[in-house]
């Protein structure tokens, strides 16, 4: 994975030179939008064994590089940032005499790659585009439980809608709505069921870029 990151960095800088893009630094703060949810898991006879809860996703922060290009009324913007996210779950096991809640968190270290293009009017920009999140490292908790199989994903995707404003020639402000395509627990497979938590938290984020 580290070699992939190095290659992406080289391609990012090389494309910026060839296309005469403006490079800069960017920081982003993301607020997760989503509600809690619960799913029940049983055995082959339908007896309840587990209940899993999605509780919340902590607000994420990102920082890294940005590239910007504009011509006429059109613009292109691409970012390559490090993002850290923490997801909170709960689990109840009914195979014991006194079931209790087991709350746990999973942390994901991502290379966050949002790409947007659109139109600009004065200092305002309106754009859309895909989002790619490369999983560099993840802390999975239930990987040793007998009835749960872990199938971690290296790539998750989404789509963004953004509104940008140029505060200064070198300072750009972005407000984004990020639509997530993946479920929070789709890396888990339960032995007796293909169902998982149907929660795909969306993200509302604000970013500040310093572009040379």
For 91-110, how does the pLDDT look when each residue is reduced to its tens digit (9 = 90+)? Answer: 988 877 777 788 999 999 99
| Residue-wise pLDDT tens digits, 134-184 | 999 988 888 777 788 888 788 999 999 999 999 998 999 999 999 998 888
Q: Where are the domains of the chain?
A: 2-34+58-87+107-211
Dihedral pair phi/psi, residue 143, rounded to 5°? -75, -10
CA-to-CA distance for 100 and 96, rounded, in angstroms?
9
Structure tokens at 47: 């007896």
Contact residues for 185 (Cβ-Cβ < 8 A; gap 6+): 52, 54, 89, 196, 197, 199
Query: Is 2-34+58-87+107-211 CATH 3.75.10.10?
Result: no
pTM of the complete model beyond 0.95: no
- Strand (E) or helix (H) holding 18: helix 2-18
Structure tokens at 170: 């070198």
Question: Beta partners for 169?
Answer: none
Sign, Cα dihedral of 138, 141, 143, 148: negative
């Amino acid at each position: 994975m580290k070699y992939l990151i190095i290659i992406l960095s080289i391609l990012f800088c090389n494309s910026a030179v060839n296309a005469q893009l403006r490079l800069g630094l960017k920081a982003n703060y993301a607020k997760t939008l989503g509600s809690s949810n619960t799913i029940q898991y049983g055995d082959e006879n339908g007896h309840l064994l587990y209940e899993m809860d999605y509780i919340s996703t902590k607000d994420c922060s990102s920082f890294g590089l940005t590239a910007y290009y504009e011509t006429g009324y059109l613009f292109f913007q691409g970012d390559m940032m490090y993002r850290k996210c923490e997801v909170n779950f709960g689990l109840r096991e009914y195979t014991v005499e006194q079931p209790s809640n087991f709350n746990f968190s999973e942390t994901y270290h991502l290379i966050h790659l949002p790409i947007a293009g659109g139109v600009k009017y004065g200092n305002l920009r309106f754009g859309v585009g895909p989002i790619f999140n490369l999983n560099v490292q993840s802390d999975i908790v239930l990987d040793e439980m007998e009835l749960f199989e872990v199938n971690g994903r290296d790539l998750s995707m989404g789509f963004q809608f953004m509104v940008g404003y140029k505060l200064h020639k070198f300072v750009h402000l972005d407000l984004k709505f990020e639509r997530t395509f993946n479920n929070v627990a789709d890396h888990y497979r339960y032995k007796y069921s293909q169902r998982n938590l149907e929660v795909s938290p969306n993200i509302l984020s604000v970013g500040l870029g310093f572009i040379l």
